[in-house]
Amino acid sequence: YFFAVFPIWLGSFIAAGFSTPLILILITWVVLRFSVTNVLPWKSISLGILLFVLIYPHLANFRQQIWVLEPQASLSEKVHSFVASFLPNALNPWQEQTYGFVSNTGLIRRVSLILPFSYVIQNTPSPVPYWNGITYEILPVAWIPRLIWSTKPEERWGNKFGQRYKILEEGDTSTSINIPWITELFVNFGQNGVIFGMALIGMLMGFLDRIFNGYETNTIERSIAVGLILPLFYQESNFSLMTGSLLLQVLSILAYFYILIFFTRLARAKWNTRQSALND
């Protein structure tokens, strides 16, 4: 199933211009492989890292092409633009660019979450005052589906964060800057927020690991851990955005599998009863 649908996933990711889902798929596959064989697939890991290093620097030019210059392009045209971004006449992907908190390559900006953290420490609470928990206000209701609450507030903190700290150009209302969990704690509550907040987050992660990844857990619970809990290891976006719908997702998947198991067992019991009657 994985290898059959992977080309479809790949096409949709290229069309969107996002690389994170592909990275998560590779990590998920590595985790599943290790859980079955107890051996890390070092060749696949090395190949994945190499491809990421080679591809990621070109994504900025590619996204500029499909998001701004050709937003209505078809999937085949976007794939062609993606391939063309590797040609020699493409812009130099390693050239340094300045984005507020760092002057370096896009690859380093992407993987170094310490950079935005250092930047907000230097600028908070002066000249930028603390947010005092405003980014967590939606957390108690984040689990409610928009299908039920159509006017549920949208989370636009990435753009507001970029504007507030002058990382984005004034008037840019579309670009979003990721707010890692530790950075979000500092911009809201400062040093004490980081100390106590990360302690609470550590307890939460331990609780989730204990519930869904213990030795006595069944296949369904471990599947939930791989599908929903694993992505939390890289905490690059604000807390409510990454975890707000987690409870509803877990309950939905549990309900789906257990209802499916119930009807499967019911159908099997009826089949066995029918077969016994025919044999008699």
**pLDDT at residue 192 is higher than 90:** yes
In this structure, are residues 183 and 113 in contact, taking their beta carbons and an 8 Å threshold? yes
Which pLDDT band holds residue 156 (cuts at 50, 70, 90)? confident
**pLDDT at residue 259 is higher than 80:** yes
3-class secondary structure, 85? coil
How many other C-beta atoms are found inside a 10 Å radius of the C-beta of residue 249?
A: 15
Residue 120: both structure tokens together: 């907000």
**pLDDT at residue 96 is higher than 50:** no
Average pLDDT, rounded, for the chain = 79
**CA-CA distance, 181 to 194, in Å (whole number)?**
9
**CA-CA distance, 198 to 205, in Å (whole number)?**
10
Question: Which pLDDT score is estimated for 107?
Answer: 61
Question: Which pLDDT score is estimated for 64?
Answer: 66
Which pLDDT band holds residue 88 (cuts at 50, 70, 90)? low
Between 59 and 218, whose confidence is greater? Answer: 218
**CA-CA distance, 181 to 166, in Å (whole number)?**
20
Which pLDDT band holds residue 67 (cuts at 50, 70, 90)? low
Torsion of CA 180, 185, 187, 189, to 10 degrees: 180
**pLDDT at residue 8 is higher than 50:** yes
Q: Which amino acid type is present at position 246?
A: L
Q: Any bridge partners for residue 103, and if so which?
A: 98
Name which of 98-102, 104-108, 171-175 the model is least confident about. Answer: 98-102
Percent of the chain with pLDDT over 90: 18
**pLDDT at residue 89 is higher than 60:** no
Between 276 and 2, whose confidence is greater? Answer: 276
Question: From the centroid of its chain, how far is CA 267?
Answer: 38
Which pLDDT band holds residue 121 (cuts at 50, 70, 90)? very high
Q: Mean pLDDT highest for which of 65-69, 96-100, 208-212, 260-264?
A: 260-264
Question: Which pLDDT score is estimated for 97?
Answer: 40
> Per residue, what are the HEC states of 180-247?
CHHHHHHHHHHHHHHHHHHHHHHHHHHHHHHHHCCCCCCHHHHHHHHHHHHHHHCCCCCHHHHHCCHH
For 130-145, what is the mean pLDDT? 89
Between 73 and 88, whose confidence is greater? Answer: 73
Nearest to 190 by CA among 131, 251, 112: 131
Which pLDDT band holds residue 134 (cuts at 50, 70, 90)? very high
For every residue of 103-131, DSSP letters joined together read EE-HHHHHH-THHHHHHHHHHTTTTSPP-
CA 104 to each of CA 8, 32, 112: distance values in angstroms, whole numbers, following the listed order: 33, 35, 11
